[in-house]
Structures are given as structure tokens and as C-alpha cells.
Amino acid sequence: MLLHRSFISKLLAGAGLLFATRGWLFSQTPSARDVLVRFCDLDTQGGQLSAEGWDKAATLFVTPSAPRRNKITVVRDFVVSNPEFEKGRAQFYVEYVKLGKINPLNARFSTLPSPLKIR
């Protein structure tokens, strides 16, 4: 009888943990800031330059379009602000250091005279 009670207790505890974990996993919707940080992270690693990278980045958009590869900007570091709420919308800014650009026609890198902080 004691073995039976122990088994049932463990079974109930396990089921409770499973349901609690399942609910927690499904309720973890990323915030708008998390999505923007993920996009910037992929983008600063060249995510839009390959089909595989763009597929990853495209999952972050509600209606993705084709990647723009006519202009390649080389950056270092980025910071995403906390949201500012206005009229029911969250607004963010992204700040990064622009180092130069790459001409996609001849793969030539052009540096800036000095790094430029862009917001």
C-alpha cells in the first residue's frame, strides 16, 4: 500500500510539473525588444547576405519581403533602447557604430575617416 501511495504521489507531482512547464514554455512570447535585438544580432553578423541567414531573419517579420543587398553597411556593436510607449505603440531606437560600406558590385570595402555613431 505504501509503494502504491508513493507511486501515485510521484505520478501526480510529475503531471503537475509537466503541465506547469508546458504552460510556461508556451507562454514565453518574446517581447518586441527581444525580436529587435535578435534581428540586429543576425544583421550585424551578415544575416541578410546569404539565403540561409535571410531565412532566419525573415522569421522575425510578420510579412517578410526580399532582402535588400544593393547596399552593405559595416557596423560594430549595437544597443537597442528600452521601449517608449506613445499612442498604443512601442518605439525603440537602435544605436550602432558605422565603420564603412561594401560595394556589392565589386566587393570593395570603403572605410569612413573615423567610426560614426548612428542612432
54 and 15: one domain? no
23 pLDDT tier (thresholds 50, 70, 90): very low
38 and 48: one domain? yes
68 and 104: one domain? yes
6 pLDDT tier (thresholds 50, 70, 90): very low
Quote the number of domains for the chain: 2
Residue-range definition of the domain harbouring residue 84: 31-118
63 and 110: one domain? yes
44 and 70: one domain? yes
What pTM was computed for the model? 0.68
63 and 84: one domain? yes
Least confident of 62-66, 92-96, 98-102: 62-66
Q: Give the DSSP letter of residue 50.
A: S
Spatial separation of the C-alpha atoms in residues 13 and 19, rounded to whole Å: 10
19 and 38: one domain? no
pLDDT for residue 66: 84
Determine contact, residues 72/48, Cβ cutoff 8 Å.
no
Q: Counting beta carbons within 10 angstroms of the beta carbon of residue 39, is it exposed (0 to 12), middle (13 to 18) or buried (19 or more)? A: buried
